Amino acid sequence: MKLRPKLCIGISLAPTWLSGEGWRLPGSGIEGLYSSDFALETAKAAEAAHLDFVFRPDASFLPLPVMEQSFGFSSLDATLLMTAIARETAKIGLVTTISTTFGHPYIAARQLMSLHWLSQGRAGWNVVTALQGHENFGLPDMPSSDARYARAAEFTEVVRRLWASFPSDALVVDRAAGRYADTDLILPINHRGPDFQVQGPLNLPAFPGPGIPLMQAGGSATGVDFAGQVADMVFGMTPDLDTALKTRAQLSARAIAHRRAPRDLRLLPGLSLYLGKTRAEAQDLFAANHRRITRAQRIQRVTEATGLDLSTWPDDRPITLADLPKAPGGPRSAGHIALLRRIIETDQPTVEQLLARPEILASVHWQIIGTPEDAATEIIRWHEAGAIDGFIAVPGGAPQSLHLTLNDLVPRLRDAGHFRHAYQGDTLVSHLTEA
C-alpha cells in the first residue's frame, strides 16, 4: 500500500543527460556547463512542471581518465550553484549535497541556513558520507563505513542544534526601543564529541518558517538506520521492484524503531530515464551513449565493485558466487556490491554477458529505456505497490530525455492522479507534506 497518494519528484542537475556521448550532440550546450544559466534553465523547466525539488549530487575528487571523454565529476560547488538558482526561481526545492566526512558542521550549518534564507525556505541537504576523496583532506585513507556513519550522526546532530541555537523569534528588531535581538534566546550548544567541539551559537538566525529537510544516500544497514533516525528523504539505489519493496520495508522498520512515522521517510530511488518517442529510438539512444566504454573499463567497474579481476578470463566462462572474493575492498557502495552479487547469484552470467549488463555499463539505478508512456506505467506500478514514494529523475543519453521527462512523462503522472497539478506552498517542506 502506498504511504502517500502523490509522488514526490526531484530531478538531478548533474547533468546526466550529457554524460557519455550526450555532450557531443549538436546543441547540447556543453560549453555553458560551468555557468549558472545551464542549471538554471533546467531548474526553471522543473519548476514549470511543479517538481518538488532540483538536486545536485557532489563529490570532492576528480578521477582523471574519465575526463578524456566526458566531464566526469568536474562541477561547480553544489551549494553555491543552488544560491544562483534561488533568486531566479520561486517555488521549487533546492537540495544540495554536503559531505559529513570532509566538511565541518559549523560551516555546513551556516551555508545551509544561508541557502534557506536566500531561497525563502526551499533548502534541502543531501547528507553524504562520501566514497572517495580522502587524499584532498589530509586523510591517509578513507575512514571505515562505521567511522564515517558515526561522524555523520554527530555532524548532523551538531548542525541541527546550531540551527536551533539562534531561533527566529530571538529577533526583536524594535527600532523605537533600539533592541535588535533577545539574547536570552540565543544559546550556545557546548558540544564536545569524539569528532567535533563546537560551542555555538550559529551566527545566523533560523529562517522563520519550516526547517531544512534532510536527504540520505547510502544503503548499508548502518546507512538505513541513520536514514530511519534523521532523513526526510532517501536517495535510494533500487534497480528492481523487489529491491525497492525490501528497501521501503527496511526504512519503515528503522523509522518506527526511532519513533517516527514511516510516511515521513520518503524513498526516492534514482531513476535513469533513456526516453524516446518510440522504444527503438530510446534503445538506440542508450546504445549510442555507451559505445565508447571499452572492455577494460567494464572490467575495471566489476573489479571496483566486487574485487574480482576478470582481465584474464575467457568471454564464455560463467561467473558464480564462489568466484567472488570474501571481502571486496573497492570504493563502490554496499548497494552496488549487493546488486552485482545478486546478478551473479541468480544468472551465473558468462564474462561476456556480465560485461554487457546495463548495471555495469551505466547507472546502477532503477533504469527505464522506452517511451514516456512506458515510464509512466512502470512508475505507477511501483507507486501502487507501495515500493516508492517518488523518485529522483536522472535523464540519460541526450537533452531529449530531459525534455521528455519534464514535458511528457510528468504530465502523464499528473493526469493519472499521481502528481500535483500546481504547488500549494512555497517551501520544500510544504511540497513534501502536501498530502
Q: Interface residues with ligand FMN (CB under 6 A)?
A: 57-59, 97, 99, 128-131, 145, 217-220, 223, 235, 237, 270, 333-335
Grid coordinates of 116 = 534557506
Shortest Å distance, C-beta 78 to ligand FMN: 8
Residue in the shown chain whose Cβ atom is closest to ligand FMN = 223
- Please name the residue ranges forming H helices in 24-104: 36-48, 64-67, 78-86
Shortest Å distance, C-beta 333 to ligand FMN: 3
Which residue type occupies 139?
Answer: L
Exposed / middle / buried, residue 20 (Cβ in 10 Å: 0-12, 13-18, 19+): buried
Shortest Å distance, C-beta 241 to ligand FMN: 17
Query: CB-side exposure of 401: number of CA atoms within 13 Å?
Result: 32
Shortest Å distance, C-beta 125 to ligand FMN: 12
CA 127 to chain centre: 9
Shortest Å distance, C-beta 217 to ligand FMN: 3
Q: Do residues 292 and 34 make contact, with C-beta atoms less than 8 angstroms apart?
A: no
Give the residue with the Cβ less far from ligand FMN, 205 or 219.
219
Shortest Å distance, C-beta 398 to ligand FMN: 22
Shortest Å distance, C-beta 373 to ligand FMN: 26
How many whole angstroms separate alpha carbon 273 and alpha carbon 368? 5
Give the residue with the Cβ less far from ligand FMN, 130 or 308.
130
372 sits in which H/E element: helix 372-384
Give the residue with the Cβ less far from ligand FMN, 363 or 427.
363
Give the residue with the Cβ less far from ligand FMN, 138 or 178.
138
Q: Do residues 197 and 191 make contact, with C-beta atoms less than 8 angstroms apart?
A: yes
Contacts of 215 (CB under 8 A, 6+ apart): 55, 95, 124, 125, 126, 127, 231, 232, 233, 234, 235, 268
Q: Do residues 100 and 129 make contact, with C-beta atoms less than 8 angstroms apart?
A: yes
Q: Do residues 69 and 63 make contact, with C-beta atoms less than 8 angstroms apart?
A: no
Which is it for strands 266-275 and 214-216: parallel, antiparallel or unpaired? unpaired
Instruction: Concatenate the DSSP letters of all residues of 90-110 into one string.
Output: SSSEEEEEEETTTS-HHHHHH
Shortest Å distance, C-beta 61 to ligand FMN: 9
Q: Do residues 159 and 193 make contact, with C-beta atoms less than 8 angstroms apart?
A: no
Give the residue with the Cβ less far from ligand FMN, 6 or 151.
151
The helix/strand/coil state of 191 is strand
Shortest Å distance, C-beta 421 to ligand FMN: 29
Give the residue with the Cβ less far from ligand FMN, 18 or 204.
18
Phi, psi of 379 (to 5 degrees): -65, -45
Give the residue with the Cβ less far from ligand FMN, 45 or 147.
147
Grid coordinates of 228 = 530511519
> In 3D, which of 92, 8, 112 has the Cα closest to residue 46?
92
Shortest Å distance, C-beta 154 to ligand FMN: 16
| Omega cis (within 30) before 328 | no
Give the residue with the Cβ less far from ligand FMN, 59 or 233.
59
Shortest Å distance, C-beta 214 to ligand FMN: 13
Give the residue with the Cβ less far from ligand FMN, 123 or 217.
217
Give the residue with the Cβ less far from ligand FMN, 86 or 131.
131
Give the residue with the Cβ less far from ligand FMN, 94 or 128.
128
Instruction: State the first-to-last Cα distance of the chain, in angstroms, to the nearest integer.
Output: 15
